[in-house]
Structure 1
Amino acid sequence: MSLGTLYINPQSPRSTCLVSIIKALGLDIKIQSFEEVENFKELFPLGKTPAYYENDGYKLTEFVALIEYFISISNNETYKPKNIKDNVQVLRWLSYINQDMVNVWCKFIFASPTDEIKKINSDAQRAQFSYLENELSSRPYIAGDYITIADIYLFSWYGLFSDVIGGEIKVDFPVLTKWYEDVKENDAIAKEIANP
């Protein structure tokens, strides 16, 4: 019997990334589109996805909290940080990607379609890629010396962020490009995200 149900928006990278993580962790969790549930807003008044409803009535929302919970209840040690410092670095990067980077992308995609607004947000996303390029110059992965969920989450958004920046990503950001290829080659979740 499944542990519970994760309600998703199939169009959202946050949701699709979580589905891949759940599969890789080997968790028995039912996946369902929130649009298929008549009483979704009764269960989750904010109406936001992803949202998790456990069979015992426990409810949880917010991407970073969901990741932390699913990793904690899993027997799979692959993505569990090795110590508290690694854990807070993973949380730091998940927050940065989920807030700062995704917000800039949303402003580019959903904001007023003027060239000036698009340029402002494209430049902001490019500055974020420059920051990542610099950070990855001193270590192989986002949060340290091994692949973490922070790498997987950035990986899941990488193509969308790249579209905002434009230009030649491989030339402009060679270290970030190398990181992307390494994660794609060496991580099961990234392989699934890259080849759904």
Structure 2
Amino acid sequence: MILYASPLACSGAVLMALHELDLPCDVAFVDIYAQPHIVIDDGTPFADVSPKNAVPALRLDSGALLTEVGVILQYIADLKPGSGLLPQPGGLARYRVMEWLSYVGSDVHKTIGPLFHPQMPAAAKDIHRQNLHRRLSHIDQRLAHQPYLAGDGFTVADAYLFVMIGWEPWFKVDLTPYPNLARFHGHVASRPSFAHLRRTVDPALQRMNLPAFPRAGAVGCGGERRI
């Protein structure tokens, strides 16, 4: 398998999951700040690899290309069904994890991104900040009763959420208003899979010309830099 990923992007969740599962996979980093987006090692236009021109994309050994972070996370977790990263099909526990994957993807991920777009109008950012605060508050309430999104065990949904709220010195959501989410962040940051993620992406970051991203501002979202 070949994972096409970009440092600081949601594809980091896939890198963490691969390490958690001890699955071998080649990684090809994509510079999503270059126009057109290119594969760093050989300069191939990424649109020639994936018509969506977005990471992550997973090239399977069969040659088929799989896209969308939530789907890729489910696929690789199913390669090791006893791992606990995704419960077995047929039970409600599995659908709870899929429910969280959907919520992080549609409600959290898509709300955070516009806050760091330099051309996004201030009024629109205020709306996104309010929406993000409401969604993070909901997650914080859930984490008051359990260590991870779906219960006592770390799953692929937790990897996705962790990457979305970020880590220093790059973008990191201000978690001060969300003590349970802050505790969750600390738990996940201590996992070996995050250390592996840092070791994997840091060399690629040095090869990219990152733009200066605007700060997110107040109302539950502050931080450094973010795609």
Alignment of 1:43-192 (within 5 A): 43-74=49-80, 77-81=83-87, 84-110=91-117, 112-159=119-166, 160=171, 162-163=173-174, 169-170=175-176, 172-185=177-190, 187-192=191-196
Distance 1:65 1:53, change over 3 A: same
- 2:99 counterpart SS class: helix
Per-residue deviation, 1:17: 2.2
When normalised by structure 2's length, the TM-score is 0.70
For structure 2, the residue ranges without an aligned partner over 5 or more in a row are 31-37, 203-227
Give the structure 2 partner of residue 166 of structure 1. Answer: none
When normalised by structure 1's length, the TM-score is 0.80
Kindly report the root-mean-square deviation, in angstroms, between the aligned alpha carbons of the 2 structures: 2.6
Cα distance in 2 between the residues matched to 1:177 and 1:39: 38
- How many equivalent pairs are there? 185
Residues 117-162 of structure 1: CA deviation (Å, up to 9, x unaligned): 2222222111111111111223222111222121121112223462
Q: Percent of aligned positions with the same letter in both sequences?
A: 23
Letter in 2 for 1:173: Y
Cα distance in 2 between the residues matched to 1:120 and 1:86: 33
Greater relative contact order, per chain length (Cα 8 Å cut-off, separation 6+): 2
Residues 61-112 of structure 1: CA deviation (Å, up to 9, x unaligned): 1111111111111376142326621211111111111111111112211264
Q: Confirm or deny: 8 A CA contact 2:114 2:120 kept in the other structure.
A: no
Per-residue deviation, 1:189: 2.1
- 1:162 counterpart SS class: coil
**Higher mean Cα deviation, 118-127 or 152-161?**
152-161
Q: Confirm or deny: 8 A CA contact 2:74 2:156 kept in the other structure.
A: no
Cα distance in 2 between the residues matched to 1:44 and 1:115: 33
Distance 1:6 1:119, change over 3 A: same
